[in-house]
Chain A
């Protein structure tokens, strides 16, 4: 009798144990499901905001007209693909499109696309940098990328002013891109001698930031106000320079870098546990850190050389996503990418319309609206996240 009771108790506790185990698995799967839902919703949000953004602007075109122009534009472009390749996209617009069509296809669409691509790239670079450096403050600013790119652009704007307008345009982009890569190379070179610790990297980045902003201010000091203003506005960052010529380049860089970073995302997670633990789990910590760092810097450089320094998105988008879905980089990287894209595009849409026809650069909107929004989230969050 007693034995029977005992057996019953044991089988009961085993059954209880099994259900508990299934429950934890279910809970984990729901947890993963919630993250996937956030990623998916952010992706949808991009299309929604892009759809709204395309209809807004100072040139009066109705909502239905915009969509009909986009809809009918696609076959027109496909039909004239040969002409576009031989004569260039601008020639094609001039010959085959009405003014309204040009406004939508050549002004609004590249701007929207560039906003999406820049948002994805800068947010992803931000997540990765914060992860590698194990520092919630890491962003293109803290690594000196923004100020070195700014210095490169100012050098071209102020001293390359004798060249033609087209020439200057490319000179600025090339200069910004090459200078933006300098901090990355200095940091990597330094880590060869001093070891790739996050502290060394971030301090080297901060030093670089001061060096380049020092040079930049020195240059401002001896410059005419007009040239200075242009250089200064380049630093602020805007989507106004987006065109069908530079969108494909940024798209190409994203296609190159994004999969590599996703591939390394779990290793980045493991590295959050500290170098020792990561090594004991089989990660080549130094090599992974340098590799992901170079990819993130390359991505940042290729974007900010076209749009200027929209640095804040790289800090804010990852943190907002971290508040919602946690710090698992396998989910955080795509989530920040899509959320960053919708956020940047949203800010640009507001900046374009709020006091139209004057366009407020997206960099300014980002700081003025994104900043307070971020503060609000910091106060509202339920627990510590970093």
Chain B
């Protein structure tokens, strides 16, 4: 499988040195995982459990959760493992609580996450906004099932993709990752924590029921081969520290409760001191920075897996479990002599808009199968800007596509006239 340079940032087992997020920066000390949390070895485990192991390997020692299928196995394993690693899990009274308890944990110095599925994800939205506004580094895992409402417990869907991006009120940016295997549930959970720390942003870990419940080989490397990004903790003195001042890179430095900084954190619009300030100027500066700290780094954040894009007439765009179903359709189409490329979104958000804009000038069409009635396809269509046609292969959820359905659309797309 040929992958482009972006895909190389995947923290593959035994190979963690080529991380472009840090490669262009001088790092005094290379931070690797605390071995206590790393279950080194070759395992047969499902995606939920692999996600938990990824969190532990990333240095996460605190979690707050509320049971909801098909995500609960993540925290069940965490609850069982973390007392032997030096940390804590608490089952809260609801998802509203879980999604803010984890932020208290972060401000006390921990790396923390919570895990849920659709209905719980809906309840967490306010606190995703709080994390974005207060720049609290943390991870929200959503093992997607069919919706709306209680929907399909507990059958797969990928219908929370827009919610992950837009679910909380106001303007903000998040990062969202989409693993397509238990191995990636491990690797990308580490990545999710690392991105959360680097950008001080809530990271959405968008699994789906199939990836969560499928069991495959998961290789967990030795701790010294797992790169972890430490907290962006301030080195400033109490007198010099301004909680929301930035030093050129748009991401402020953190302090933790109990260290003597006497800092203030609020969900209100705030100035560099962290003090509420309701002026237009402060609102504009803050909200634009929350956006640009992510959007200016799109090229460094986004990860895709690409295959036979050069010379392709049609590019199939997929993510999560659907990328594995699409693989079969892509191969069947190639057997028919069609020039079909594959582009898998490993990060859904921020969306790699420029990549799609450039690609749209070269290909006839994009085919976008997903387990929803058309969510990421809107982004593809928007980025294509009319230069290439866009075909959705929608599915209401509850199962995965039949590869034949995708193949049919690939064939149709390859016949279309170039715009």
A and B associate in one complex: no
